[in-house]
Structure 1
Amino acid sequence: MTDLEIAVQDVAGVRSALEGGATRVELCTALGVGGLTPSMGTVRLAVDAAPAGFVHVLVRNRGGGYVYSDDDVRTMCADIAAVRGSGVGGVVVGALTPDGRIDLAALGRFVDAAGELPVTFHRALDASRDALAELAALEGTGVGRVLTSGGAVRSIHGLEMLANMVRTAPIGVQVMAGGGVRVEDIPALVEAGVAAVHLSARTSYDDPYPAGPGGGAQELDATDPGIVAAARQAMT
């Protein structure tokens, strides 16, 4: 059966993903900028609320592109080391060189910091100069899964590339479709042969309590267990 991964931002999201039948979650914060590293408090409480291995943690210290300074890489390695002993099921990372290739040196440092934890390479792959060629470059790096839209804005528009990725991925590297996924897209993504489908399954609402002048947006996100359940149903 194809796995279902839900991107969540808090402990309530972990519980909603469980209720809806997800296989695992990618825990992060700030999904509005593509996701950033969650706090250690969030990580610990999320792990406590879930079965072993259910919570995978995104490690990305800032928004923007995926070309990182040494300080960025050191920060992310420290974050990986911090979550490694917390009971998480894996980490999600990625880095590119200025010419659009996978930064194998930075990736090696991330994998070393992860130790025995499974490692997923995130959608930095879709920002590379040639996603199919860069997928092949992951052979032997210690990465066991890639999150990709097939290079499209939405995964449903990258079906042909996703199918090519499934056929050509290095042995031991799973292809997970993610990026603008809607429930109605899932049957076609499963038909493309991906090992997993990734979506946020979130709804937005306004916080009834004001943030105050200059305090930021009032809109908040919540993981919807009904959407998670519909996504799971769409896989059958």
Structure 2
Amino acid sequence: MKRTLEVCTGNMASVIAAAEGGAERIELCTALALGGVTPTIGMMKWIRQQYPELKIQVLIRSREGDFVYNKADIEAMLEDIRLSLPYCDGIVCGALTADGDIDVEALKLMVEASGDKPFTFHRAFDRCREPEKALEQIIAAGCARILTSGHEPSAEQGIPLLRKLVEQAAGRIIIMPGGGVTTKNARLIIDQTGCMEIHGSFSAGSGVTSADDVKYVLSTIDE
């Protein structure tokens, strides 16, 4: 059964390594040490030209810190989404209210700005206070997937909630585990959650993705 590996890339060296390792899809961002922020248009354009078959999911996040955004933040991110569309295959974004709920109004604007490109709600989900309610709101907004560690520091620790989310989603949205995914636990997480997609940087703390690790994970998740 075909499963998908999405490689989180925070710099050009990681993009090149992911492609060399056989990745079909990446999440593109910069400043991973800060949790990731929006990459430059120049990066997107270069990657699209060099790797036309690579699926590029672009992270849209205007700043480090929390996911509670003011009007200016949201307007800037909406413009970043629109500017990214010619160079990407999907948008990765999200927003919360100060109370820890999904910012439904902001999310609707983000999804609308993404047009026909699939929208991934990112790990802001792991800071929401009611994941089951949030899941339904994200589905209703028209999102394609949720990137989550299951409200734990790592996806392996979050397996119980990830499994519940997969069951609740019932095929209406993709639940994609991410956070602390390694060559040692990627297959375990997939097997114990029932997820069909998984996300990781495979950089082993170096800040640069390992092509060999990507190749290895790809060989294990489809066994």
- The TM-score with structure 2 as length reference comes to 0.94
Distance 1:198 1:104, change over 3 A: same
Q: Would the aligned equivalents of 1:11 and 1:49 in 2 still touch at CA under 8 Å? A: no
2:64 is aligned to: 63
* Secondary structure of 1:155's aligned partner: coil
Deviation of 1:53 (Å): 5.7
Normalised by the length of structure 1, the TM-score is 0.89
Indicate the SS of the match to 1:146.
strand
The aligned residue for residue 54 of structure 1 is: 55
- The structure with the largest strand share of the pair is 1
Equivalents in 2 of 1:95, 1:22: separation in Å?
A: 28
* Contact 1:147/1:175 (<8 A) preserved: yes
Shift of 1:195: 2.1
Which residue pairs with 1:222 in the alignment? 208
Larger Rg: 1
- Contact 2:4–2:198 under 8 Å retained in 1: yes
Are the counterparts in 1 of residues 24 and 54 from structure 2 also a CA contact under 8 Å?
Answer: no
Aligned partner of 1:40 in structure 2 is 41
Structure 2 unaligned blocks of 5 or more: none
Residues 140 and 19 of structure 1: is their aligned pair in 2 closer, same or farther, counting only changes over 3 Å? Answer: same
* Count of residue pairs the alignment pairs up: 220
What secondary structure is seen at the aligned counterpart in 1 of 2:156? helix
Contact 1:52 1:89 in 2 (8 A): no
Q: CA deviation at 1:9?
A: 2.0
**Pairing 1:25-104 to 2, within 5 Å after superposition:** 25-52=26-53, 54-86=55-87, 88-104=88-104
Contact kept in structure 2, 1:149 and 1:155, CA below 8 Å? yes
Assess, with a 3 A threshold, how the Cα gap between structure 1 residues 173 and 116 changes in structure 2: closer, same or farther.
Answer: same
Is the contact between residue 148 and residue 176 of structure 1 (CA under 8 Å) also seen in structure 2?
yes
**2 CA distance for matches of 1:188 and 1:178?**
13
3-state SS of 2:198 partner:
strand
Matching residue of 1:232? 218
- Name the residue aligned to 2:153: 153
Residues 1:175 and 2:182 are matched in the alignment: no
Task: Find the aligned partners of 1:104 and 1:52 in 2 and give their Cα distance.
Answer: 33
Letter in 2 for 1:114: S
Q: Which amino acid aligns with 2:210?
A: D
Please name the residue that 1:188 is paired with.
188
Distance change >3 Å, CA 67–CA 170, structure 1 → 2:
farther
CA contact (8 A) 1:139 1:171 kept: no
**8 Å contact kept, 1:92–1:119:** yes
Offset from partner CA, 1:61-116 (integer Å, 9 cap, x none): 10111110000000100100001122x11010010011111111001111111111
Q: CA RMSD in A?
A: 1.5
Q: Give the conservation status (yes or no) of the 8 Å contact 1:34–1:63.
A: yes
Q: Distance in 1 between matches of 2:209 and 2:95?
A: 27
Q: 1:179 Cα shift?
A: 0.7
**Taking every aligned residue pair, what percent have the same amino acid on both sides?**
35
Instruction: State the alpha-carbon separation in 2 of the partners of residues 53 and 167 from structure 1.
Output: 30
Give the corresponding residue for 1:200: 201
SS for the counterpart of 1:6 is strand
Report the residue type matching 1:109 in the other structure: L
Work out the CA distance in 1 between the residues paired with 2:138 and 2:171: 10
Deviation at 1:126, TM superposition (A): 0.4
Residues in 1 aligned to 2:204 and 2:139: alpha-carbon distance in whole angstroms: 37
